[in-house]
Amino acid sequence: MITISKGQLRGKVSLPPSKSMSIRVLAAIFLSGRETLLKGAWPRDGRQVCEDVQAAYRVVRSVGAQFAKEDIWPHVAPPGRDYARRQLDCGESALALRMFAPILALSPYIYCLRGRSTLISRPTDFVIQGLRELGCWSESLNTLPALSIKENLLETGRWDAGDPSLSMSRPILLVQGPLRGGKYVVNAGGSSQFLTGLLMALPLAETDSILEVEHLASQPYIDMTLQVMEAFGVRATHDDYKVFHIPGRQNYRARRIDIEGDWSGGANFIVAASLFGDLRIGPLWEDSLQADKAILEAIGRAGGSWAWGSANQLKVYKRNNLQGFTFDAQQCPDLFPPLVALAVHCKGTTTLHGIDRLFHKESNRALSLLEEYAKVGADIRFEGNTMVIEGGTLPGGASISARGDNRIAMSLAIAALGAEKPIEIEGKHTVAKSFPDFWEELKKVTKI
């Protein structure tokens, strides 16, 4: 539990490395087969690494640096297998689970992807269906009794009695390839994370691939994926994001790469500075492909202002009388929580489009925002696929819950800085999932 009171801000905020970029880079390093460069995805200045990046790192380390050599082409592998390395802990990271599933399906060996807490209840049906349509085998152990799964594996010959990696405790997915090249149709309407995994995996397939993509969600994240692939010497092209062409038999070339700061976490402090005081926020890249850089467009629509400084620092200035605005967050759904914190303090009505992208996050994020903000006096309602916020004064003076969702916790904290009465937030620990130093950074720049 933490209590946030009205305050003003001034100073400099240091952001963690981009979670989305870090996990993609870890996957690329992993596919390059160079274990010595894994540390290249970690920050060099002692900042904490968020739990989702740690989860991706565990997956990579558990499987080992020889994945491409020994697992994709097992005929060159030495006799004997380390079965324990095929049980992989994805923590609460949906990106790690959905992205590594098709990557690991390059192998004819069976892998068990595990998770905990909020990840256990998040949808995986489109991953399972997608892998099956690509000729792989995949099953969920969340929806079927453990005994029936084990019996099924025994009957199909997929269960090795001497393989301890396939224990029945908290597994989410079983996957087995090999994933081969070819022509496939992929529905990416629910999430682009599975498509990201396919794009990263198929360059190592034996033949060329063509992916026909339907209903692509979050196009900026695919741009980021392609950027990382190119940096590691792997290519894929696309026809207006509807058809992707991926040559097979390519090789990832290991390299060190700088990880930019996280726009998703930074969006909270950009909103806070616009409302409550000037801040320097970084490191942020002006030419970033991260979807949540769109926070600058939203701030501009509300009447806020910023300028780029030196050393990848963004200067954000407090502006009085910010106005309600309209914004489509369909391509950047992680911006909804900080945008709600902004909207409740803007004068007039704000409309945010795209709440259908919020239903299967760490919480039902749309409902969580509506109900928790209502406890502190905010006026929020849904109209179809749009969230409508009537801004003005936020009364505060209540205890509210983050609902196990890191982005809800950060949003409530920023909004509380302008509430008439202090707000108590239960679940402060959840920020470790994406921004471990959030509370320390907030305390550092808050002047009460």
Residues sharing a CB contact under 8 Å with residue 26, sequence separation 6 or more, in sequence order: 38, 41, 53, 56, 57, 60
Alpha carbon distance 285, 380 (integer Å): 33
Residue 364 CA, chain-centre distance (Å), reads: 15
3-state DSSP call for residue 421? strand
DSSP 143: S
Instruction: Tell me the CATH class for 2-16+261-447.
Output: alpha beta
pLDDT in tens, 238-288: 999 999 999 999 999 988 778 889 999 999 999 999 999 999 999 999 999
CA-based nearest residue to 387, from 303, 322, 327: 327
pLDDT in tens, 371-393: 999 999 999 999 999 999 999 99
CATH 3.65.10.10 domain position(s) in the chain: 2-16+261-447, 19-246
The answer to whether the CB of 233 falls within 8 A of the CB of 252 is yes
3-state DSSP call for residue 438? helix
Could you give the C-alpha distances from 252 to 2, 68, 207, in angstroms and in order?
45, 10, 16
Question: Quick one: tokens of 76?
Answer: 């060159």
Q: What CATH number belongs to 19-246?
A: 3.65.10.10
CA-based nearest residue to 295, from 276, 314, 277: 314
CA-based nearest residue to 113, from 55, 64, 154: 55
**Burial annotation 99-135 (CB, 10 A radius, 16+ → b, else e):** bbbbbbbbbebbbbbbbeebbeebebebbbebbeebe
The answer to whether the CB of 379 falls within 8 A of the CB of 389 is yes
Could you give the C-alpha distances from 275 to 304, 313, 442, in angstroms and in order?
9, 19, 14
The residue whose two tokens read 């963690």 is: 16
CA-based nearest residue to 282, from 2, 11, 41: 11
Q: What values do phi and psi take at 437, rounded to 5?
A: -95, 15
Residues sharing a CB contact under 8 Å with residue 69, sequence separation 6 or more, in sequence order: 33, 76, 77
Alpha carbon distance 341, 434 (integer Å): 18
Whole-number pLDDT of residue 65: 65
Could you give the C-alpha distances from 384 to 337, 351, 362, in angstroms and in order?
18, 11, 22
Whole-number pLDDT of residue 37: 53
Could you give the C-alpha distances from 7 to 181, 324, 331, 337, 436, in angstroms and in order?
56, 22, 32, 20, 22
CA angle 234, 237, 240 (to 5 degrees): 150
Burial of 315 (0-12, 13-18, 19+ CB in 10 A): middle
The per-residue pLDDT string of the chain (448 residues; one tens digit each, 9 = 90 and over) reads 899 999 999 999 999 999 999 999 999 988 987 654 554 455 554 457 888 998 898 888 888 766 766 666 655 544 444 545 677 888 888 899 999 999 999 988 888 888 877 787 777 888 998 999 999 999 886 655 544 445 545 544 454 545 444 443 356 788 989 998 899 999 887 788 999 999 999 999 999 999 999 988 789 999 999 999 999 999 999 999 999 999 999 999 988 778 889 999 999 999 999 999 999 999 999 999 999 999 999 999 999 999 999 989 999 999 999 999 999 999 899 999 999 999 999 999 999 999 988 876 667 889 999 999 999 999 999 999 999 999 999 999 999 999 989 999 999 999 999 999 999 999 999 999 899 999 999 999 998 6
Question: In 264-363, at which residue ranges do the beta strands (DSSP E only) sit?
Answer: 279-282, 305-308, 314-317, 326-328, 349-353
Maximal C-alpha separation, the chain: 70
Half-sphere exposure of 234 (CA within 13 A, CB side): 31
Whole-number pLDDT of residue 71: 66
3-state DSSP call for residue 326? strand
> How long is the chain?
448
Whole-number pLDDT of residue 292: 95
**β-strand pairing of 386-390 with 379-383:** antiparallel
3-state DSSP call for residue 391? coil
DSSP 288: -
Question: Quick one: tokens of 18?
Answer: 């981009």
CA-based nearest residue to 373, from 349, 357, 395: 395
Alpha carbon distance 280, 317 (integer Å): 9
Alpha carbon distance 313, 298 (integer Å): 19
Whole-number pLDDT of residue 362: 65
